């Protein structure tokens, strides 16, 4: 509620959102008790007559007529202290009116209620045994027909997903980066600066929610709600000063007016330092290796072996060395990329799990296509010659690796990928050492005498 001269501006943000402007004739310096008629739409009104406009919920008048009655008004110095106002407006020349009444007093300190304590006893809880006994986790249970969860059940822990939690200004923001990716927001009513134990009900979609009640949202895997209704319960919460230390929260949301719900349970404690496992050492002994003699005994090389039916390698074998190709590499953290420019052009990407600061010796399994992989496990992708996998599964093994600080010095790596659900594999072996300075042989000097062979060919 803002009074500026003889103009009153009102804004309502609740289950609906409205705005109103009431402008008295320009002969008035402040709001005055009285009746004001023959008004048109503010700000396109006659200043000598006055104007008004009430609009919201994506609806407004292009033209209007109406009146205002100020039954009472008082000031505390230059500040508005209280007002009672009625109005009527007709939109677009119609015969149906919108009527309104406003009562406002600066001394009314009413605030929206906080969460309900204790929460209703009949709210959803995960069934016994479906969540871990300890450690951070997020559990989701989607009913058949639920748009967001697709009717599935999901469990994520610190050992198979990166769970991030941020609490600020009464809002908890959660993200999951694992086999699937999800984000969620849980916003308390505007009167709270921190989440408190209790039930937060009758909620709309964050951030388009009623701030007096709070809001929530959950989305991911290319699914989200345009509109939703729901609730969340904070069963336990602990702050260390203003920093969130632990929380137990459960929720329900119903998307687009459906009868099917998505339920979830979040347990998070800052003291749980569980991280996803690193590569398997030693690697499984039965993984592919190139046959003896098919790769050089020394020097940098890339060797590829493609089974019949493999889309990327087209069933051929390839060997590239610095004598016949350019081989370029790059690294960043636990990421390694290699490109081959020879009779064919290839690029391979190898990404370790996001818990690693650099690649380590071992087996990296259950991988999907980089960069659309599970960050907890890592990813890979090999493509070239105009061919790349839409989806893939595979593994790579780092047999040896050395660094000079953060700079990669040498690596021996082998891999396997199955493209687009095929059972035919592309396999490869990479040996690269920064100290290998071999180059292509260059021009032949003196040139080879081809006159005899050319003469014979003409005969």
Q: What is the pTM of this model?
A: 0.77
Q: What whole-number distance in Å separates Cα of residue 79 and Cα of residue 340? A: 74
What pLDDT does 72 receive?
A: 98
Query: In the 3-class helix/strand/coil scheme, how is 259-327 assigned residue by residue?
Result: CCEEEEEEEEECCCCCCCCCCECCCCCCCCCCCCCCCCCCCCEEEEEECCCCCCCCCCEEEEECCCCEE
What pLDDT does 179 receive?
A: 85
What pLDDT does 274 receive?
A: 86
Per-residue pLDDT of the chain (459 residues; tens, 9 = 90+): 999 999 999 999 999 999 999 999 999 999 999 999 999 999 999 999 999 999 999 999 999 999 999 999 999 999 999 999 999 999 999 999 999 999 999 999 999 999 999 999 999 999 999 999 999 999 999 999 999 999 999 999 998 888 999 999 999 999 998 888 999 999 999 999 999 999 999 999 999 999 999 999 999 988 899 999 999 999 999 999 999 999 999 999 999 999 999 999 999 999 998 888 899 999 999 999 999 999 999 999 999 999 999 999 999 999 999 999 999 999 999 999 999 999 999 999 999 998 899 999 999 999 999 999 988 899 999 999 999 999 999 999 999 999 999 899 999 999 999 999 999 999 999 999 999 977 666 555 566 554 444 333 333
Q: What whole-number distance in Å separates Cα of residue 271 and Cα of residue 70? A: 60
Backbone angles phi, psi at 121, to 5 degrees: -75, -20
What pLDDT does 166 receive?
A: 96
Closest CA to 261 of 94, 147, 392: 147
Query: Edge-to-edge, what's the strand order for the sheet holding 317-321?
Result: 317-321, 301-306, 425-433, 407-419, 392-404, 362-369, 379-384, 345-351, 335-341, 326-332
What pLDDT does 446 receive?
A: 63
What pLDDT does 298 receive?
A: 93
């Amino acid at each position: 509620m803002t009074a500026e001269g003889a103009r009153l501006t009102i804004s309502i943000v609740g289950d609906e959102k409205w705005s109103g402007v009431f402008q008295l004739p320009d002969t008035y310096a402040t709001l005055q008790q009285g009746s004001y008629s023959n008004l048109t739409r503010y700000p396109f009104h006659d200043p000598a007559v006055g104007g008004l406009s009430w609009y919201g919920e994506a609806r407004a008048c292009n033209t209007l007529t109406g009146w205002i009655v100020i039954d009472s008004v008082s000031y505390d110095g230059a500040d508005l202290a209280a007002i009672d106002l009625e109005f009527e407006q007709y939109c677009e020349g119609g015969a149906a009116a919108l009527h309104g009444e406003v009562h406002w007093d600066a001394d009314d300190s009413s605030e929206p209620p906080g969460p309900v304590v204790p929460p209703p006893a009949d709210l959803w809880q995960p069934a016994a045994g479906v969540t871990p006994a300890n450690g951070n986790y997020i559990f989701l249970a989607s009913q058949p027909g639920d748009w967001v969860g697709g009717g599935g059940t999901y469990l994520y822990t610190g050992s198979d997903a990166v769970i991030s939690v941020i609490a600020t200004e009464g809002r908890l923001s959660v993200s999951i980066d694992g086999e699937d990716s999800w984000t969620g927001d849980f916003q308390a009513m505007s009167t709270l600066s921190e989440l408190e134990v209790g039930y937060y009900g009758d909620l709309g979609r964050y951030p388009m929610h009623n701030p007096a009640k709070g809001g929530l949202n959950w989305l991911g895997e290319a699914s989200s709600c345009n509109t939703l209704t729901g609730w969340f319960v904070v069963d336990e919460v602990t702050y260390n000063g203003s920093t969130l230390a632990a929380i137990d929260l459960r929720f329900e949301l119903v998307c687009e007016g459906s009868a099917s719900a998505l339920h979830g349970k979040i347990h998070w404690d800052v003291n749980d330092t569980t991280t996803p496992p690193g590569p398997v050492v030693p690697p499984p002994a039965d993984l592919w290796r190139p046959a003896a003699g098919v790769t050089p005994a020394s020097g940098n090389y890339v060797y590829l072996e493609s089974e019949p039916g493999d889309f990327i390698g087209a069933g051929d074998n390839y060997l590239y060395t610095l004598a016949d190709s350019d081989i370029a590499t790059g690294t960043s953290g636990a990421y390694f990329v290699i490109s081959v420019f020879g009779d064919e052009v290839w690029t391979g990407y190898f990404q370790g799990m996001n818990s690693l600061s650099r690649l380590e010796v071992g087996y990296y399994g259950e991988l999907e296509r980089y960069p659309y992989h599970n960050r907890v496990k890592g990813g890979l992708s090999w493509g070239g010659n105009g061919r790349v996998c839409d989806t893939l599964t595979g593994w790579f093994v780092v047999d040896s690796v050395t660094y000079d600080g953060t700079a990669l010095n040498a690596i021996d790596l082998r891999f396997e990928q199955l493209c687009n659900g095929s059972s035919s594999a592309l396999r490869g072996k990479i040996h690269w050492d920064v100290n290998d300075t071999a180059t292509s042989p260059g021009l032949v000097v003196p040139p080879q005498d081809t006159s005899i062979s050319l003469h014979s060919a003409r005969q």
